[in-house]
Amino acid sequence: MRSVCRCSIIPADVLDRLSHDKSLTDAERQHFTDMAASERHWRKVRALQAPVNAAMLALSGQTVVATKPAITVFDCKNGTSLPGSAVAKPGTSADLTAQRAFNETTAVAEFYRTAFGRNSVDNLGMTLQSSIHYGLRYNNAFWNGTQMTYGDGDGNIFVDFTKSTDVIAHELTHGVTQFTAKLGYTNEAGGLNESLSDVFGSMFRQWRLNQTVTQADWLIGADIMGPGAKTRGYTCLRDMANPAATHCLSPQPTLYSQYRTGMDPHESSGIPNLAFCRAAVAIGGHSWEKAGKIWYQALTGYAAAPTLKMKAFATRTRALAASLFPTEPAVAAAVDQAWKSVGL
């Protein structure tokens, strides 16, 4: 059975914090209060729907759908019924949000194909469907187990969520995890789940810009920060190279000793995020060529592990670094040291 989640990019505690920000207007604070309540409601619904959705996916995923995924875009027109109305020829649409959703989703599929030999999120050519203009000033983007959904942002703290290439790849990677390791969304497995989406989201952003690990800024969500966030000193949601930095709207721990059972996955993901960043930088070159291949195999090359612990995942990557690059001991040394630096 496949683990199905409604995984969003903005954590509930960030929405809570903004709902109490006295520098925002009453209307803005109420908006974030409503958003936080909505996200918590969906977590409960997700838990109830997961067994049914997983069974449906298991039945629908038995045969190859296509040699490569079809890319479709739907417009919710600020409503919340999914998927919305089909957008004809989204790649050339006058709606720039539709264009971005189509073009970047197409690019994510190409990234997974060329870098890792993967055919869509399920490796069976699954159609990649996106819904845009979800809700009114909706401050989030999410993968619900079958498709992507993007809000327009409130225009102050957040802007259109399709503007961030790493956000798009982050959410689609939740689909890859769903069809492979089936990581849960609580405790250490939840942190790994979120981290893997950040890792591949960042790699995709770097791939799109043809950046080396030293050219990359390692920021997550930099392109969805609105003017109100920037005036408060926030340049990103998360920083994989410096998870605890004050310029992060959603700062994270950097050491495994700081992990606590029940920690939000968006928070605990900082620990493996930092390990990947340090490993990739120590190895050098393009992140997807060596470090990325190790992390991809660690995600996809083993049996489903819904409760996988961070130490076990680290052990996988150490073994894979040696087996995938046997003539390059520096690769294994970089991965080993990266995990040791965060206490694993």
> Given CA atoms 259, 263, 267, 272 in this order, what sign does their dihedral have?
positive
Contact 343, 321 (CB under 8 A): no
Q: 83 preceded by cis ω (within 30°)?
A: yes
Q: Is 266 a catalytic residue?
A: yes
Q: Which CATH class is domain 187-341?
A: mainly alpha
Residue 260: half-sphere exposure toward Cβ, Cα within 13 Å: 7
Catalytic residue among 28, 39, 104, 171: 171
Q: Report the chain's terminal Cα–Cα distance, integer Å.
A: 30
Contact 317, 298 (CB under 8 A): yes
Classified as helix, coil or strand, 101 is helix
Tell me how far apart the alpha carbons of residues 293 and 42 are, in angstroms, rounded to a whole number. 33
User: How far, in Å, are 30, 252, 318 from residue 40 at the CA level?
Assistant: 16, 20, 36
Q: Which residue has the tokens 């006295």?
A: 22
Per-residue pLDDT of the chain (344 residues; tens, 9 = 90+): 344 556 888 888 888 888 888 888 888 888 888 887 777 656 555 444 444 444 444 544 445 578 999 999 999 999 999 999 999 999 999 999 999 999 999 999 999 999 999 999 999 999 999 999 999 999 999 999 999 999 999 999 999 999 999 999 999 999 999 999 999 999 999 999 999 999 999 999 999 999 999 999 999 999 999 999 999 999 999 999 999 999 999 999 999 999 999 999 999 999 999 999 999 999 999 999 999 999 999 999 999 999 999 999 999 999 999 999 999 999 999 999 999 999 99
Catalytic residue among 170, 266, 267, 286: 266
Give the Cβ contact number of residue 86 at 10 Å.
11
DSSP string, 125-144: ---EEEEES-TTT---EEE-
Output the pTM of the full model. 0.92
Residues 278-290, buried b or exposed e (16+ Cβ, 10 A)? bbbbbbbebbbbb
Tell me how far apart the alpha carbons of residues 214 and 104 are, in angstroms, rounded to a whole number. 23
Q: Is 171 a catalytic residue?
A: yes
Contact 191, 310 (CB under 8 A): yes
Tell me how far apart the alpha carbons of residues 131 and 151 are, in angstroms, rounded to a whole number. 9
Instruction: Quote the tokens at residue 341.
Output: 């630096």
